[in-house]
Amino acid sequence: MLKVHHLSESRSQRILWLLEELGLEYEVIRYERDPKTGFAPPELKAVHSLGKSSRASTPS
């Protein structure tokens, strides 16, 4: 199953919409922005070095 790393208030919402339209199964891993800075949390930076989303991964 596809895993989508989704950051609140980001363009990754478009990827979720696309997956819904295609009828594909996926799991969403949600991250919240820092309320003061608006930056991605360290947990997302562990997945993508720049803290960007969306990031998709598949089982290996």
Region 5-11 average pLDDT: 83
Distance (Å, whole) CA 20 – CA 49? 27
Predicted TM-score (pTM) of this structure: 0.73
Angle at 14 between CA 3 and CA 23, to 5 degrees: 60
Q: Output helix, strand, coil percentages for the chain, rounded to the nearest 5.
A: 30, 25, 45
Burial profile 10-30: b = 16 or more Cβ within 10 angstroms, e = fewer = bebeebeeebeeeeeeeeeee
* DSSP 8-state symbol, 18: H
- Residue pLDDT, tens place only, 11-50: 888 888 999 999 999 999 888 888 999 888 888 777 766 6
